[in-house]
Chains A and B, each alone.
Chain A
Amino acid sequence: MGESIMPNLQRERIVEYLNSGKRIDGRALDEFREIVIERGISKNAESSVSVKIGKTEVFAGVKMAVMEPYPDSKNEGTFMTTVELHPMASNSFDSGKPGIDAVELARVVDRGIRESGFIDLKKLCIKEGEKVWQVFLDIVAINDDGNLMDACGLAALVVLGDAKLPVYDEEEKKVKYELSKTAVPLNKEALSFNITFHKIGESIIIDASSEEEAISDYRLSVAVGEGNGKARITSLQKGKAGAISDDDMERILKLVEDNFSSMLPKIRKYVFG
């Protein structure tokens, strides 16, 4: 539907608004759109969820399997993330092999979770050197209205928070199609969530809509969690061609600190209930 070229006047108006501290949809510069979470969208998954931020929506699911561990991590399970920017979600997504945008998104979400130590990979070991759990986190974009990065990040956390291990039958050496009562082992205090910033003109905004994304100079995604009682960064990704000045960097870090304390309890509630 009418997702056509953006006229100059639109770009100019967005910047004018930002210079007055407002977004074109009336939000404040550091305000998220409404978040709606629906759990259990697939009963065949170990857990599944739909996450909406404004009109942007993604589905995510966790599936698990048992495999031999990698030789350099004999007592650790494995974890893999895929993101599909399905063409159903936007006129600008193509069919076929995942493009660089999907690959980047998947890798950024993956790193944020992996590096924070949120999943306790050691506890995913069934028998050292022989059998470990393999966690598959699959995310599919349903509708793109900007900020798929944070929608995917949040969906990943919520779906992992809900996931239970399937029953593993030792004798038959098979995974059964039923869930145990054991949750996928997580280090809850290691929870780290994503905030993506965009620079437009002189302003820095959070949770960009697709209009805002289209005209920004650069974006910076920051995964942040708690470490020693303070905000601790577990992943960074800058995208697009613009360059970050020292001043910008200071402003962004301040925004991270300011928003971290108000957002952390909300995110914790979404993930752990």
Chain B
Amino acid sequence: MSKSLYAKRKSGRAFDEVRPLRAEVGVVPSADGSAIFESGTTHAIAVVRGPRTLHPQHMQNPRAGILRVSYGMMPFSVEDRIRPGPSRRSEEISKVTEWALSCVVDLSEFPNTVVDVFIQIPQADAGTRVAGINAAAMALAHAGIPMKEMVSAIGVGKLDKTLVVDLDKHEDSEYKDGEGSTDIPMAFTSRSGRICLLQLDGKISIDEFKEVVKMGREACKKVLEVQSSALKGIGSKEKKRGKK
């Protein structure tokens, strides 16, 4: 088998190394739950409002509350400004995020209500949907929503033949050598380790994919640690946002 063209990561990180992670809860005071999750220079804010009454009435579910996710990127979050408003990409990401979180959330105690999850990206450097899921899982917990487990997400990729964890923008959009770049966002439930988000954009062999899942699972352990610490209020107080 020939050697991979991507022998060393542009950022200098090891292949299985995630970017510096940082998280905090309670960033939006008027919300029921809120959190930020940062992976390197990709930042995501998630806000939860609910359970609250769902209008219009015909959308209500008498057996359980419904989870509704809305993902969006702020116009100045990327180099090419994004026009405000939904796009097909943001609608797709909203839906797969909703599915990922629904795996663990239990709204049977709140019939006829909705739990709204808003995810916004103020600064993007690839991996925005997984940062969003990580923030959203924390915000849901922070809001006191019953959840059987936490959810942690990471993007794993293949650059030519090299498998790496937590792609940055260069690896995700710019790398074109050899077999190019394949991006695989995934999310795992914290206790049972089931996959609740899985997408692939590129090409990969079956053996490589099995390896990718292993790498993703390992990386998500680190993500879970950061999420749990933030919820427990450990270590994040020193780096609170805001200076005069």
Instruction: Digitize B119-160: 1 where CB-to-A-CB distance is under 8 Å, 0 elsewhere.
Output: 010111100000000000000000000000000000000000
> What's the Cα separation between A253 and B29 when bound, in Å?
34
Interchain pairs with CB closer than 8 A, number: 101
> In whole angstroms, what is the CA distance A131 to B170 when docked?
30
Contact status A138-B84, CB under 8 Å: yes
- Chain A contributes a number of interface residues (CB within 8 A of B) equal to 42
By CB atoms of chain B within 10 A, which of A37, A86, A144 has the most? A86
CB nearest neighbor in B for A41: B122
Bound together, the chains give a CA A57 to CA B242 distance in angstroms of: 11
B74 contacts which of A36, A43, A140 (Cβ < 8 Å)? Answer: A140
B122: min CB distance to chain A, Å: 5
Q: Is the interface of B mostly helix, strand, loop or mixed?
A: loop
Interface residues of A in 124-148 (CB under 8 A from B): 136, 138, 140, 142-145
Q: Tell me, yes or no, whether A89 is within 8 Å of chain B by CB.
A: yes
Q: Which of B12-55 contact A (CB under 8 A)?
A: 28-32, 34, 41, 43, 45, 47, 49, 52
Query: Does B116 sit within 8 A of A, measured CB to CB?
Result: yes
Query: Known: A36-B244, A44-B123, A136-B81. Contact between A88 and B28, CB under 8 A?
Result: yes
Bound together, the chains give a CA A142 to CA B118 distance in angstroms of 11
Q: Which residues of B contact A57 (CB under 8 A)?
A: 28
Neighbouring A residues of B242 by C-beta, 8 Å: 36, 38, 50, 52
Size bracket of the B interface? 20 to 34
Contacts of B72 in A (CB 8 A): 86
Q: Please state if A84 and B84 are interface contacts (CB–CB under 8 Å).
A: yes
Q: Which residues of B line the A interface, CB within 8 A?
A: 28-32, 34, 41, 43, 45, 47, 49, 52, 70, 72, 74-79, 81, 84-85, 116, 118, 120, 122-125, 241-244
20 extra A-B contacts, CB within 8 A, seeds A82-B75, A143-B29:
A1-B31, A36-B243, A38-B241, A41-B122, A42-B122, A43-B123, A44-B78, A48-B123, A50-B241, A55-B29, A55-B30, A65-B81, A86-B72, A87-B118, A88-B45, A88-B47, A89-B28, A140-B74, A142-B28, A142-B45
Contacts A/B (CB < 8 Å), 21 sampled: A1-B31, A3-B30, A36-B242, A38-B241, A44-B76, A44-B78, A57-B28, A61-B77, A86-B120, A87-B49, A87-B116, A87-B118, A88-B28, A88-B45, A89-B30, A98-B84, A136-B75, A138-B76, A142-B28, A144-B30, A177-B79
User: Which A residues have a C-beta under 8 Å from some C-beta of B?
Assistant: 1, 3, 35-38, 41-46, 48, 50, 52, 55, 57, 59-63, 65, 82, 84, 86-91, 95, 97-98, 136, 138, 140, 142-145, 177
